[in-house]
Chain A
Amino acid sequence: AQSVTQPDIHITVSEGASLELRCNYSYGATPYLFWYVQSPGQGLQLLLKYFSGDTLVQGIKGFEAEFKRSQSSFNLRKPSVHWSDAAEYFCAVGPYNQGGKLIFGQGTELSVKP
């Protein structure tokens, strides 16, 4: 079955600390992987995406993610978190070049302590 798992429902980090949000997927075909961020009451903003090539992907706002096929993971990282990064983060997987039918993880809520 196709699925995306984000094991951490809620994470709290101190401002300036590093961050890693976990994402594991189960997908039959070659996956097209995404990380989105959602602020309260807002739509989705794409942070980064991966289909092929370099397994370390750079995104916006200083985020990066590493695709590890052997672990079926696509973890999101940021070396130094800012208070404005507090939001809900979603990992998603879908088919490449076949439209945007995505399967989303449960989301991880990030809180940032001053």
Chain B
Amino acid sequence: GAVVSQHPSRVICKSGTSVKIECRSLDFQATTMFWYRQFPKQSLMLMATSNEGSKATYEQGVEKDKFLINHASLTLSTLTVTSAHPEDSSFYICSAGGDRRAGNTIYFGEGSWLTVV
């Protein structure tokens, strides 16, 4: 069935560096993907909507220059955390689907643990 895959599942980076997380839809085309962040013991908060071929739409309070989103193809969206700091350490998870392309089913990636040291 349709699957959304994230990579890497875990990443450790040094403070001040940038790290990229990929989100791929494997069996369907996704013009829209969504990026969520989850701090430990908390709920998922939508960060941004990734739009294929156009700029991402960010939720209030999310810094677009810090969390760069690129949706260059119908199967791939990337989230780049720039100049990462320890407070950016979190679980990042993407989703795609929910429309007719994906049979009205929403699929979540496996998530990516980011630790900034």
Contact = CB atoms under 8 A, between A and B. Distances in A.
A53 interface: no
A83 interface: no
Query: Per DSSP, are chain B's interface residues mostly helix, strand or loop, or mixed?
Result: strand
Interface string A20-60: 00000000000010101000011110100101000000000
B104 interface: yes
B34 A43 contact: no
Contacts of B49: 99, 101
Query: Per DSSP, are chain A's interface residues mostly helix, strand or loop, or mixed?
Result: loop
B1 to A, nearest CB: 12
Contacts of A96: 104
Interface residues of A, number: 25
B43 A105 contact: yes
A63 interface: no
Contacts of A95: 98
A41 B95 contact: no
A99 B34 contact: yes
A20 to B, nearest CB: 20
B106 A94 contact: yes
B32 A97 contact: no
B21 interface: no
B99 A99 contact: yes
Contact of B34 (A46, A90, A101): A101
Interface of A: 32, 34, 36, 41-44, 46, 49, 51, 90, 94-107
- Which 6 residue pairs of A and B lie closest in terms of their CB atoms, listed nearest first? A100-B98, A100-B106, A43-B111, A43-B110, A44-B108, A100-B95
